[in-house]
Structure 1
Amino acid sequence: MDNLELEFKYKEMVRLSEVLDQYSKSSFEDFKLLGAVGVLLAFQPASSLFDVKNDLFLVLGFLAILVIICFVGFYGLLKQSLAVFYLDEISKFEKEFREGLRNGESDLESFRVAENWKLVGSKKQREVAKTFYGVFYIVVVFFPTVVLCISTNYSQATVYFISAMIVSALHFRTAKNIHTHT
C-alpha cells in the first residue's frame, strides 16, 4: 500500500470515527428515556391531584407513557445499531492499516480499537447494560402494575402488565440482536 492510498484510507477512517463518536455522545446525552421513566413513576401521584372519576384514565395514562418509553427506547437501539455498523467498518480500515504498515504482517498492536472493543470493551459494556435494562424493565413493568392493582382493578393491571411485558421483550430481543456479533 503506497503512502497516498494509506493517507486516503486514514482520512476515511477518521471521518467514520468522528461519526461514531457523535453517535456515542448523543447516546450518552440522551436522557429522554430516563425522563420518560420519571414521568411513569410520578404519573399516579400527580394524577391524583386532579378530580378524575374514571379509572380508565389511570391505565390509559400509563399505557401512553409506555408508548413514549417504547419509542424512545427503540430510537436509542437504532442509534446503537448504527454505531455497531460504523465500528465494523472502522475495523476493516484498521486491519488494512496494520497490514500496510507491516508489509502484510498484521501483528501490530496499534490500529486495534474496533477489534479490542469487540473482544474486551463490549463484554464490560454488556454487563453494565444487563444491570441497567434489568432495573429498567422491572420499573416499567411492575411499578404501574402494582399501582393499577391498588388503584383500579386487576383487569386494567393485567392489560398494562401484558403490554409492558411485550414492549420489554421486544426491546430485549432487539438489543440482543444488535449486539450478538460484538
Structure 2
Amino acid sequence: MSGILGGVAFLVAAAFVVHGWVDSGHLPGFGSRPPWSSSSSQEPGTDPGAEAPPGPGRHKDPALGSDSHAAPQQLSVSPRSGSMWTTVTVTGSGFTRNGVVRLTFHATAMGAVNIDGDGDFTARMRLPSPDFYSRFPGQTFVISTTEYTRDGAYQGNGPVAAFHVD
C-alpha cells in the first residue's frame, strides 16, 4: 500500500512542478502551434517567418549563387556482397559540390572522400574491422554518408547502401 501512496505523492509533486514551470513562462516557444501540429498549413517544425533551411546535403554557397547541391543524392557500393576482406568501390552523386563526405560501415568509420564540382565521388576502400564483422556471416550492413561543406560545416546525413557479408 505504501508503494501506491508513494506513487500518488510523486505524481502530485510532479503536477505542481509542471504547473509552476508553465506559469513561469519558461516553456519553449512554438509560436501559435507546436511543430508537430497536423492542422498547420506549413511544414512541420518550420517557422513561417524564417527562410527555409536548404535541407540535408544542401547549403547556400554565395560563390555558386544558389543551392550548391547538384541533384537527388544516390549512393551505390560494388560489389554488394563478399567477405569482410573485400575492397569495395563506393560511388555517390548529387552531393554538396566540392564538399566532403564521410563514409561509415555500420558504426565504424571508413574514411572521408572529397566531392567534385559536379557533386560526385568515387572511393575504393577496404571494409573496416574485418576480424570483427566477419563474425556475422549472412548479415547485411549499411554504408552511410555524412556530408560536410569544404569548410567543414555539417550538411546532413545522406543516402545509404547495403553490403551483405558472405
- TM-score if structure 2 supplies the norm length? 0.21
- TM-score if structure 1 supplies the norm length? 0.20
> Structure 1 or 2: larger strand share?
2
> Structure 1 or 2: larger helix share?
1
